[in-house]
């Protein structure tokens, strides 16, 4: 019964978010029914989305979900099995060269030539991307400035720390002033301090470029993206503004209750409230007879007052009653968990996500 | 125009990378020692007849063939294999450059390095000259042309091998096998005993092409185009191999 309910709700969510944000003309990236198969493994399944000019699109999903595969198709590195990708109105297959000129791409593991110096490397990349010889120095200077690489200009790339390699990769993506930046896990493998620096850097770029960045760390996306897509097992589960995603889920923020007493006594006292909640509530026994309850009320409902009242009448001491706004993390876990409950559909390979190599997360 | 500019940018980078790789100097050193030995050997055999010595040295000494077969694979093994292993190939192929430029740049860089390895052999001629022998310029020039064409062929074969794998050593072994097949199949085909097959393979023999024409001072367009076409075939296969990895 409950499962059916969830399925119906999921379809609603999917229907709501599947619609493109704008018409195809104004989109910098326009993806329609993109499918990628590696042999029997379905890495990306029927994915459609748009990214408008000036947007910072966050691309979220667990490892092996199909993020890198999708990104590699967008950059023209690998072709799709089916579906179309347009970038700035050009088809990624037939106008690959023209598209690559508008694109700054940072691949997942930031592959760089280790034997070159930072400045030499960036100069080579700038020239390769069509920056004229007399403008190359200025372009390299600007990119190094943006990415805080000026003190490192004479260092050999192979000897740089992970954080600085990441910056060199970013500077590379930026050096020819592309219209679109595609960054695959730009903060992968960085420590929290470096991560913040790189994120601030990307945030600073947002007003000049349209950005698509992938991550499996949700807090990152939450802090810089204007819109979020969630992908799992090759399927796009959600696509929208973060706030919209949260409100479009049918239920309200969860409520945490800590009260003292036996668990069944507690549940009995709160039974009328619980009956009104959308789905199962957790209860955890804490030390010294305290019990923590997490309730998920239906949308638009705030049963906090009723909870306090009922516990008081039942004579059960209450020490905490908090309403949690949904974090992206929670949202993500719930959306992906719901998708998992739906189970594999006939068209999908049962374990696309459990084969990260095939799904393109690793080379 | 744009293609040429991109090619020159890539070529500069590839040449730089070849000269920055320490192992290539080891390869060249060994090759030079072999060449020197082989020249000395040729001088001994020809008993001071410089013309004979030069002919022996270019093309008829198995030592020189050893250098020609073994060195190009060691110079080309990393060209694609290393880029694939480290992932920089993705950076390269998502930049606005065509595969043709990428393959040609690597090929020309490898060939340039191979050619630079032969430059010191001019010294041998200077030494021979200082002993009063004036070698015939014609056969010498065609011998060098032959070495260039053969180098181009083996470099292209090596490049193809390198595009097939991520492992440099495997690329080198594969390339050596290609080269040995090109060189030895015509000899082996003699033992099959069917004349048609033998004639077919002898026509394809790179050693025969070399011996019949280049080291004798002849430029036979048939022989020249034989090498050029085979080189082109390997370069074409390299491009297809790059493409097919994307489609897989």
In this predicted structure, the answer to whether residue A304 has a pLDDT above a threshold of 90 is: no
**Confidence band (pLDDT; 50, 70, 90) for B136?**
confident
CATH class of A255-323: alpha beta
Average pLDDT, chain B: 83
**Minimum mean pLDDT among A62-71, A95-104, A121-130, B130-139: which range?**
B130-139
**Minimum mean pLDDT among A55-59, A111-115, A155-159, A261-265: which range?**
A261-265
A97 contacts in B (CB within 8 Å)?
96, 98
Q: Which of B106, B104, B99 is nearest to B80 (CA)?
A: B106
Q: pLDDT for A165-193, tens place per residue?
A: 999 999 999 999 999 999 998 887 788 88
Nearest CA distance, A11 vs chain B (angstrom): 33
Chain B interface includes A109 (CB < 8 A): yes
Joined together, the tokens standing for residue B194 give: 């069917």
Helices marked H in chain A — which ranges? 2-18, 67-74, 96-101, 118-128, 133-146, 162-174, 192-205, 218-224, 242-248, 263-269, 271-275, 304-314, 328-342
User: Looking at domain A2-102+179-248, which CATH architecture does it have?
Assistant: 3-Layer(aba) Sandwich (3.40)
A38 contacts in B (CB within 8 Å)?
248
**Minimum mean pLDDT among A4-18, A86-100, A111-125: which range?**
A4-18
Q: Which of B23, B175, B25, B15 is nearest to B106 (CA)?
A: B15
A363 contacts in B (CB within 8 Å)?
84, 87
Residue A327's pLDDT is 61
In this predicted structure, the answer to whether residue B185 has a pLDDT above a threshold of 50 is: yes
* Other C-beta atoms lying within 10 Å of the C-beta of residue A251: 18
Chain A interface includes B22 (CB < 8 A): no
Number of H-type helices and E-type strands within chain A: 13, 14
In this predicted structure, the answer to whether residue B135 has a pLDDT above a threshold of 70 is: no
Mean pLDDT of A18-41: 73
Q: Global pTM?
A: 0.77
- Residues near A334 by Cβ (< 8 Å), separated by ≥ 6? A249
Which chain A residue lies closest to B98 (C-alpha atoms)? Answer: A97
Place of tokens 């499996």: A216
**Minimum mean pLDDT among A38-42, B53-57, B93-97, B232-236: which range?**
B53-57
**Confidence band (pLDDT; 50, 70, 90) for A352?**
very low
Chain B interface includes A299 (CB < 8 A): no
Q: Where are the domains of chain A?
A: 2-102+179-248, 255-323
Which residues share a beta bridge with A238?
Answer: A230
Mean pLDDT of B61-88: 86
Q: Looking at the partner chain, which of A109, A111, A128 has a beta carbon nearest the beta carbon of B95? A: A128
Q: How many CA atoms lie within 13 A of B6 on its CB side?
A: 19
Nearest CA distance, A71 vs chain B (angstrom): 11
Chain B interface includes A127 (CB < 8 A): yes
**Confidence band (pLDDT; 50, 70, 90) for A302?**
confident
Residue A41's pLDDT is 87
Mean pLDDT of B145-169: 91
In this predicted structure, the answer to whether residue A348 has a pLDDT above a threshold of 70 is: no
Percent of chain B with pLDDT strictly greater than 90? 26
Q: Looking at the partner chain, which of B13, B84, B246 has a beta carbon nearest the beta carbon of A77? A: B246
In this predicted structure, the answer to whether residue B247 has a pLDDT above a threshold of 60 is: yes
Residue B7's pLDDT is 92
Chain B interface includes A113 (CB < 8 A): yes
Q: pLDDT for B124-134, tens place per residue?
A: 777 777 776 66
Q: Looking at the partner chain, which of A75, A103, A127 has a beta carbon nearest the beta carbon of B9? A: A127
Q: Looking at the partner chain, which of B6, B10, B87 has a beta carbon nearest the beta carbon of A111? A: B87
| Plot region of B138 (φ>0 → left; ψ -120 to 50 → alpha; else → beta) | alpha
Please give the residue that has the higher pLDDT: either A254 or A37. A37
Q: pLDDT for B46-73, tens place per residue?
A: 776 766 777 677 666 667 778 888 889 9
Chain A interface includes B247 (CB < 8 A): yes
Helices marked H in A51-117 — which ranges? 67-74, 96-101
B246 contacts in A (CB within 8 Å)?
77-79
**Confidence band (pLDDT; 50, 70, 90) for A202?**
confident
**Confidence band (pLDDT; 50, 70, 90) for B237?**
very high
Average pLDDT, chain A: 80
Q: Looking at the partner chain, which of B17, B84, B97 has a beta carbon nearest the beta carbon of A115? A: B17
Residue B239's pLDDT is 93
In this predicted structure, the answer to whether residue A15 has a pLDDT above a threshold of 50 is: no
∠ Cα A170 B82 B3 (to 5°): 70
What is the ipTM, given to two decimal places?
0.84
Angle between helices B168-189 and B195-203 (to 10 degrees): 130
Residue A135's pLDDT is 92
B9 with A128: Cβ contact below 8 A: yes
Please give the residue that has the higher pLDDT: either A204 or B237. B237
Joined together, the tokens standing for residue A112 give: 């760089």
Residue B61's pLDDT is 65
B97 contacts in A (CB within 8 Å)?
128
Residue B248's pLDDT is 58
Q: Where are the domains of chain B?
A: 2-247
In this predicted structure, the answer to whether residue A25 has a pLDDT above a threshold of 50 is: no
In this predicted structure, the answer to whether residue A49 has a pLDDT above a threshold of 60 is: yes
């Amino acid at each position: 019964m409950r499962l059916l309910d969830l399925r119906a709700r999921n379809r609603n969510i999917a229907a709501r978010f599947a619609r493109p944000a704008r018409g195809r003309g104004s989109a910098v990236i326009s993806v329609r029914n993109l499918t990628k198969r590696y042999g029997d493994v379905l890495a990306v399944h029927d994915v459609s989305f748009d990214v408008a000019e000036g947007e910072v699109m966050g691309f979220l999903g667990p490892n092996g979900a199909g993020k890198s595969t999708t990104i590699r198709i967008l950059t023209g590195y690998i072709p799709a099995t089916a579906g179309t990708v347009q970038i700035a109105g050009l088809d990624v297959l037939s106008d690959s060269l023209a598209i690559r000129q508008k694109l700054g791409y940072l691949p997942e593991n930031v592959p760089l030539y280790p034997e070159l110096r930072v400045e030499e490397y960036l100069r080579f990349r700038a020239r390769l991307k069509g920056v004229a010889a007399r403008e190359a120095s200025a372009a390299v200077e600007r990119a190094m400035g943006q990415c805080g690489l000026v003190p490192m200009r004479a260092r050999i790339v192979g000897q740089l720390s992970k954080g600085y390699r990441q910056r060199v990769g970013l500077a590379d993506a930026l050096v020819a002033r592309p219209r679109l930046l595609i960054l695959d896990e730009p903060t992968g493998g960085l420590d929290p301090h470096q991560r913040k620096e790189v994120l601030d850097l990307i945030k600073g770029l947002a007003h000049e470029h349209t950005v698509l960045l992938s991550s499996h760390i949700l807090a990152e996306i939450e802090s810089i993206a204007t819109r979020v897509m969630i992908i799992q097992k090759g399927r796009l589960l959600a696509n929208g503004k973060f706030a919209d995603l949260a409100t479009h889920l049918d239920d309200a923020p969860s409520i945490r209750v800590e009260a003292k007493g036996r668990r069944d006594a507690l549940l009995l006292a709160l039974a009328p409230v619980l009956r009104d909640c959308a789905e199962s509530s957790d209860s955890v026994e804490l030390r010294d007879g305290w019990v923590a309850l997490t309730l998920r009320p239906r949308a638009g409902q705030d049963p906090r007052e009723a909870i306090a009242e009922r516990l008081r009448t039942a004579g059960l001491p209450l020490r905490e009653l908090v309403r949690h706004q949904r974090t992206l993390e929670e949202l993500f876990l719930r959306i992906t968990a719901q998708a998992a409950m739906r189970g594999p559909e006939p068209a999908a390979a049962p374990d696309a996500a459990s084969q990260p190599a095939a799904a393109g997360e690793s080379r | 125009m744009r293609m040429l500019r991109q090619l020159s940018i890539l070529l500069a980078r590839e040449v730089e990378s070849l000269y920055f790789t320490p192992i290539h100097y080891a390869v060249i050193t060994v090759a030079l020692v072999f060449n020197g030995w082989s020249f000395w050997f040729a001088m001994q055999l020809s008993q001071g007849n410089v013309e004979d010595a030069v002919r022996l040295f270019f093309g008829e000494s198995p030592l020189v063939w050893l250098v020609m077969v073994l060195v190009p694979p060691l110079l080309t093994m990393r060209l694609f294999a290393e880029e694939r292993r480290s992932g920089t190939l993705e950076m390269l192929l998502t930049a606005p450059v065509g595969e043709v430029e990428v393959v040609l740049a690597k090929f020309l860089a490898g060939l340039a390095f191979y050619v630079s390895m032969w430059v010191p052999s001019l010294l041998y001629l200077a030494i021979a000259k200082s002993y009063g022998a004036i070698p015939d310029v014609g056969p010498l020039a065609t011998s060098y042309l032959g070495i260039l064409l053969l180098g181009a062929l083996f470099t292209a074969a090596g490049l193809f091998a390198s595009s097939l794998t991520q492992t440099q050593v495997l690329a080198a072994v594969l390339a050596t096998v290609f080269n040995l097949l090109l060189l030895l199949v015509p000899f082996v085909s003699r033992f099959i005993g069917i004349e048609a097959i033998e004639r077919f393979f002898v026509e394809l023999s790179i050693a025969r092409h070399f011996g019949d024409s280049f080291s004798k001072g002849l430029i036979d367009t048939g022989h020249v185009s034989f090498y050029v076409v085979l080189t082109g075939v390997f370069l074409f296969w390299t491009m297809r191999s790059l493409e097919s990895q994307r489609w897989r």
